[in-house]
């Protein structure tokens, strides 16, 4: 394919790039730099099918970002838009993960303008850089959001409002004054919030509030 040949001509100057089939996000092409880092051939990758992700990526991460990426690539309201995400890739013999910042966009379209293939660039993050640490925290929050959406949705509007102030560390006196409630009522709300969220400690409440953008 001409477009892939043009990318390969610049492969030494580009990050790892991957061509995916938009229909199922299977790998159609992986740049030489990518196959070298993974220690496989392009033929190996193609034969792996869905096991490609199980072999080289954090499964929990994949379950979170792949559906979102596929939806974004297929969205007719945002043609040719880049979808960026963090992912953990294992290229080491000990099975350890390394953080990558990746971005995907439609690359080849059919005659009706529907995307067929997507292009993804994957840039490895310096493990000693603060961005790698932030990527870890962000992914942890995203996975917590995914796994606990129903729990959070079970909170009433008032409980969500109170959770914001509780997680922020405001005193009981301040919160009671803000919402015109008694200390006893606040304690009841706090107990109900913890029960619905399955939270055991104040730190658990903070994590929920952070994951759902309350603080």
Say whether pLDDT at 207 is over 90: no
Confirm if 183 and 176 have CB atoms less than 8 A apart: yes
pLDDT at 27: 92
Say whether pLDDT at 132 is over 70: no
Question: What domains are there in the chain, each with its CATH number?
Answer: 2-129 (3.30.450.20), 154-211 (1.10.10.10)
Say whether pLDDT at 212 is over 90: no
Say whether pLDDT at 124 is over 80: yes
Give dist(CA 74, CA 97) in Å, integer.
29
Q: How would you class 59 by CB atoms within 10 Å of its CB: exposed for 0-12, middle for 13-18, buried for 19 or more?
A: exposed
* Residue, of 134 and 166, whose pLDDT is higher: 166
Q: Which of 207, 212, 204 is nearest to 154 (CA)?
A: 212
* Residue, of 139 and 123, whose pLDDT is higher: 123
Give dist(CA 176, CA 184) in Å, integer.
10
| pTM of structure | 0.64
Of the candidate ranges 61-65, 108-112, 157-161, the one whose mean pLDDT is the lowest:
61-65
Say whether pLDDT at 215 is over 90: no
pLDDT at 61: 80
User: pLDDT tens, 79-109?
Assistant: 778 998 888 888 766 567 888 889 999 988 8
Give dist(CA 132, CA 126) in Å, integer.
7
């Amino acid at each position: 394919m001409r477009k892939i040949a043009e990318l390969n001509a610049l492969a030494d100057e580009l990050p790892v790039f991957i061509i995916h089939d938009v229909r199922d996000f299977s790998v159609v092409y992986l740049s030489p730099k990518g196959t070298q880092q993974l220690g496989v051939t392009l033929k190996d990758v193609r034969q792996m099918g869905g096991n490609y992700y199980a072999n080289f990526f954090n499964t929990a991460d994949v379950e979170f970002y792949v559906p979102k990426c596929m939806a974004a690539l297929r969205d007719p309201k945002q043609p040719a838009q880049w979808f960026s995400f963090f992912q953990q890739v294992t290229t080491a013999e000990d099975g350890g993960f390394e953080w990558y910042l990746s971005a995907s966009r439609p690359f080849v379209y059919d005659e009706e303008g529907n995307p067929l293939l997507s292009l993804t660039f994957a840039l490895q993050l310096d493990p000693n850089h603060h961005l790698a640490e932030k990527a870890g925290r962000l992914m942890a929050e995203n996975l917590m959001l995914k796994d606990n959406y129903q729990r959070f949705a079970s909170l009433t509007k008032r409980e969500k409002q109170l959770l914001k102030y509780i997680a922020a560390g405001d005193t009981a006196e301040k919160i009671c004054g803000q919402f015109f409630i008694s200390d006893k009522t606040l304690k009841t709300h706090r107990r109900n919030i913890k029960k619905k969220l399955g939270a055991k400690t104040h730190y658990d409440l903070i994590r929920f509030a952070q994951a759902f953008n309350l603080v």
